[in-house]
Amino acid sequence: MHLLTVLLEAILLEASVQAVDISAKKKSGGVAFIGDELNQTPFPEWLTDFTGMTQWPGLVPPYIPLDFIDMDKIPDYNSYSQGVCDANTRDACSFDCDQCLAHDDISTCRKLSQTFDDGPSPATLKLLDYLHHKSTFFTLGINSVNHPDIYHEIQDAGHLIGSHTWSHAYLPSLSNEDIIAQLEWSIWAMNATGNHIPKWFRPPYGGIDNRVRAISRQFGLQAVLWDHDTFDWSLVTNNPFKTEQEIYNDVALWKLVENRGLILEHDGARKTVDVAINILDLLGEDQLSVSECVGGIDYIREF
């Protein structure tokens, strides 16, 4: 089964298990909604005026043209599926294929620091109870509008929130227009839910090349990758890449050898959150948010 399908199914399964009332699973504006529909982020009037829509989209958001996006600035590299790494020459600078980093990519930190992808989810609340330093959460737009209360809990705790696209698409496989859609709807979800515009952006699966960068930069986004991968997400599949103990052994080694870098983790499932809490016990609270790692701003704009 394709990695994208496995991960999305795991996230949706976890959300359904943790929902307060699974029987309340509904459709709200095209979004597969689990929980109390009345708690969804209201679709704002300003977004209706701009898009002509009245409801949040489903997993595949529609492309809405933006006058500040210059298509002529996007290089003509081939799109490709995850794991297909011969579609372009190496000057495409693919991170997931070639571990290539652009000059403005963030991939490490002076202190060994956890980062969390795929929320907000019900599991995020447990993680927030244990975090006592400013951390970084890369949220999915579709989850943000479905769990605005949890999104606000992340905000209220003082953590940094970045974009993880609208619905966890592997961006290099998409057309330019569909990449724009994944980013614009993620940004609009964060604006409508959290009253801010993100500066930091983590591409799902590390799927970024110079075509994706050329688009994300026009939104003012800066890519955040990692130099330590726990593979924690695979613990919620039937074929984990590593055992839980192997993950802890890796973290202990990273701390012993370098004690610096950005660790990729996930808050989309209870299992990965439990692992994150144990990793926090290993590392302690002397960690930084991504913006603190590089001395940058938290958001492009806060309202």
Q: Where are the alpha helices (DSSP H) in 19-122?
A: 45-51, 95-98
Give the Cα separation of 64 and 75 in Å (integer). 20
266 among known catalytic residues: yes
Cβ neighbors of 51 (< 8 A, separation 6 or more) are 62, 64
SS (H, E, C) 182-214: HHHHHHHHHHHHHCEEECEECCHHHCCCHHHHH
Contact 180, 76 (CB under 8 A): no
Computed from CA positions of residues 293, 296, 301, 303, in that sequence, does the dihedral angle turn out positive or negative? positive
Contact 264, 117 (CB under 8 A): yes
Q: Is residue 117 annotated as part of the catalytic site, yes or no?
A: yes
Could you give the CA distance from residue 182 to residue 61 in angstroms, rounded to a whole number?
7
The conformation of residue 269, written as its DSSP 8-state character, comes to S
Angle between helices 244-257 and 270-283 (to 10 degrees): 30
Catalytic residue among 159, 164, 228, 266: 266
DSSP letters spanning 31-59: EEE-S-GGGSPPPPHHHHHHHS--S---S
**Continuous segment of H or E residues that includes residue 115:** strand 113-117
**Which is catalytic among the residues 96, 117, 209, 298?**
117
Catalytic residues, by residue number, are 117, 266
